[in-house]
Amino acid sequence: MKKLFIFLVVLFLLSFVGYSQESFDQEWYDKLNSPLEFIVYENFSTKLHSIRVYRGDSTEHLLTIKDYCGNSIYNKIIARDTEIDLTFLSCGQYIIEISNNKTARFQVIEIK
């Protein structure tokens, strides 16, 4: 009985391992070698938006925040693992641009 239980647990765990490997698509693998990737997220407990650069060879990145018309309203040089608080932004849509010496990435965010 004990061997049967162990066999079922191992079989159950193997099904999760196989599933997790299938969830990585080609886009995920391409980003592993990307010169720049960042994320903009909202902390749901504090309602604060933050930006975090999580991939790239450069140690410094230029962060530019533009209003939806393209007017630059914030510029700052940030390090790779720096988090920036966006609470100073009022409600609206903004263009987040982060660039380094190799590339630039853009993302549109909406603050409610």
Taken in order of first residue, the domains within the chain and their CATH numbers are: 2-111 (2.60.40.3080)
- Tokens for 6? 């162990």
pLDDT for 66 equals: 95
pLDDT for 11 equals: 63
pLDDT for 14 equals: 60
Residues belonging to the chain: 112
Q: Do the bridges between strand 92-99 and strand 60-67 make them parallel or antiparallel, or are there none, so unpaired?
A: antiparallel
pLDDT for 94 equals: 94
Residues of the chain with pLDDT under 70: 7-24, 28, 31, 46-47
**pTM passes above 0.75:** no
pLDDT for 12 equals: 65
